[in-house]
Amino acid sequence: MQQIKFFSKEDKERIIEFNKIVHDEGVVSTVNNIMFNNPFHSLQNFVYLEEDGKILSMVGLLIHKQRFGENEVEVGEIALVGTHPDYRKKGLCSRLMNYWEDYMKDRRIPLSCLIGIPKFYQQFGYEYAVPAHFYPYVTIDKELLKNINGCMLIEEVKVDEELLPEQEEIIDQIKAIYDKGSKDNFCSDLRSIEYFKYRIKATSFGPHHWYIVKNNEKVIGYFWVTQDDNGFMIREGNILEEEAGKSFCGFIYEHTKDKEKIINIRVKSPLNNSFSRYLYKRGGRFNCINEIYPGSWAGMYKIVDLKAAMEMLKDSFEERLKESRFYNYKGQYRIVTDIGEVVLLIDNSKVQICEEAENAINVNIPLNILTSIFTGYRDINYYKDELSFHSEEGLQLFKVLFPLGNPYFWDLEMSDELE
């Protein structure tokens, strides 16, 4: 049996050649961005199997933090999965996936996620749970921006090797706006100041630019855009007040009014994004709904550590109970899944998570369903024909504990964002 190994810098060329065979030529920039040029990842994030010096299969695991309610949770993202065409269906990928799953269990990382190839990752226990924004969610006819003129200053953001104090302050303010705009989005990534410095520098080239909207010295909006003679796409952006949206709309129109090929301005964002909401009021259109279509590429999750996953929602459970008719409820429920059991002890809006309780009522929930309601993508009603509860009260209680959350997954890898 082949030994699971980690890559070294000397493996770069054969890693790239392997990925070209498994994926396509376009994967080269992705490999470089994720494996070699990103200071937040290392080659220790990737394992592989080989035979006679030939890479047979590889899988990466990128650890980062995401928001789940008020919780900041470590999540393991599966990346760059591939097996050589001549060695598929031999269980090689499963071995590497299992390696990383054991790693996450050892570190008590409760969740794993990935952007799923249609009808493939369910075999590893992943389930569609969060929409992914691979195409614009909002568009607006540029002519609708014609008479929108704000009074705020628009500046392009540059990141130098040695940042000036004013550049540091701008990045601090951009991060604060991002945090405010994403704090209510289940599964949104947490970003550090250092990440923003790297991100802005690495994604400012060619047609890709970062802009800020300023009111005196205060940043009240930021945008990352791709613009050329054929299109204007906002890949990310947030505003603190509508005046920032008005000013940036005026900026967009001035940069597109003489470009005949540009008819619509496109925005990649969650539907609840601050700038998207502003455009919608100005005549913008939602190009899709918050729905994952069968067989589509979207965010998939897997609960790796059941007890740790429930513990991360403990505070959210208690807040949800306090605000419901179950604020003074007392009871015990054992959630039984494919990967184990966990008990919720509920007493006057206080919740304890434990592995066993003698008199707990069993609720059997398949892992794929639990994943979907855990992220808030579906609610209990959607699965009412597949689940059975001891009583109507139990069903209503679980609706409170796992409400429909309308999550938005919008922090893609830079390699994906720059497609």
Question: What is the C-alpha separation between 57 and 19, in angstroms, rounded?
Answer: 10
Please list the residues that pair with 234 across neighbouring strands. Answer: 225, 267
Question: What is the C-alpha separation between 5 and 77, in angstroms, rounded?
Answer: 19
Ordered domains of the chain (ranges, CATH): 5-109 (3.40.630.30), 138-287 (3.40.630.30), 305-365+386-401 (3.30.1050)
Terminal CA-to-CA distance of the chain, rounded, Å? 38
Residue 140: what pLDDT?
A: 96
Question: What is the C-alpha separation between 143 and 131, in angstroms, rounded?
Answer: 30
Residue 377: what pLDDT?
A: 84
Q: Which residue in 364, 377, 367 sits closest to 125, CA to CA?
A: 367
Residue 412: what pLDDT?
A: 39
Question: What is the C-alpha separation between 44 and 132, in angstroms, rounded?
Answer: 27
Residue with tokens 């893609």: 412
Residue with tokens 């010295």: 217
Q: Which residues contact 147 (CB under 8 A, 6 or more apart)?
A: none
H-assigned helices in 257-387: 274-281, 306-312, 314-322, 367-374
Residue 290: what pLDDT?
A: 63
Collapsed DSSP state (helix, strand, coil) of residue 132:
strand
Question: What is the C-alpha separation between 228 and 232, in angstroms, rounded?
Answer: 7
Please list the residues that pair with 87 across neighbouring strands. Answer: none
Residue 117: what pLDDT?
A: 79
Residue 294: what pLDDT?
A: 67
The C-alpha R_g of the chain, in whole angstroms, comes to 23
Beta strands in 126-230 (DSSP E): 127-130, 138-141, 153-156, 208-215, 218-228
**93-149 pLDDT, tens digit each:** 999 999 999 999 999 999 999 987 777 898 899 988 887 666 678 899 999 999 998
Question: What is the C-alpha separation between 267 and 3, in angstroms, rounded?
Answer: 46
Residue 418: what pLDDT?
A: 31
Residues of the chain with pLDDT under 70: 132-135, 289-291, 294, 406-419
Residue 407: what pLDDT?
A: 52
Q: Which helix (H) or strand (E) holds 182?
A: helix 165-182
Q: Give me the phi and psi of 271, to 5 degrees please.
A: -70, -20
Tokens representing 24?
Answer: 């396509």
Is this model's pTM higher than 0.85 or not? yes
Residue 40: what pLDDT?
A: 92
Residue 409: what pLDDT?
A: 45
Residue 415: what pLDDT?
A: 38
The DSSP result for 241-257, as a single string, is: SHHHHHHHHHHHHHHHT
